[in-house]
Amino acid sequence: MHKGLGTYTAAVVAILAAAAFAVPAFAGNGNRSTTSSISFASIDGAAAPLSPTTKLGDSVKFATTVQSLAGWQYPMVAVSCYQDVNGDGRLDTSITGPDVVYTQLDKPSATFMLGGYSSTWSDNGGTATCRADLYSYGFKSGVEYSQVLATTGTWQS
C-alpha cells in the first residue's frame, strides 16, 4: 500500500507542477481581466476624485488592471509630461520630442512624484500636459517588445 501511495503522490505532484507551468502569467492587482485599464488611485496619499487635478511635485498612484500576459511579459506604467519648450506653438507629445519635460517608468504599484527631483519641468516650473500609459514589456527570442495596454489620456497639471 505504501508503495502505491508513493506512486500516487508522485503523480499528483507531477500533475500540479505541470499545471503551474501551463497557467499564463497575470499581473496588476491580481485581476484576470480581458482588458487593461489605468486610472488615478490617489494624489498625495488621498483618494483621487473623479476629476483629479494635479500639479508639479504631487505624488500620484494609479489603479491598474492588466489583461492576460504571456509569461515573458510584465506590466509597467510610464508617466510623461510636456511643455512647449521650443516655443513653436505646438505640443509634441512623442517621448523623443523636444517638448518632453518629465518622464518616469516604474511598476504599476509605484508612487510617481510629478516632475521628479530633477527634470526640465522642475527647472521650468509652470503647468504641463501629462499622461500615464500602462505598458506590457518583455523580451522574447532576444527581441524587446512593448505595447500600450491602456492610457489615462492627457490631463493638465
Domain borders along the chain are: 25-156
pLDDT (0 to 100) of residue 21: 30
pLDDT for 16 equals 29
CA 122 – CA 153 distance, rounded (Å): 22
C-alpha–C-alpha distance, residues 153 and 157, integer Å? 13
**What integer is the mean pLDDT of 42-64?**
93
Question: Which DSSP letter does residue 10 get?
Answer: H
Considering only 3-7, 62-66, 90-94, which range has the smallest mean pLDDT? Answer: 3-7
pLDDT value of position 131 = 94
Query: pLDDT tens digit string along 105-118?
Result: 999 999 999 999 88
The C-alpha cell that represents 59 in the structure block: 505624488
Provide the pLDDT for residue 50: 83
User: Between 32 and 78, where is the model more confident?
Assistant: 78
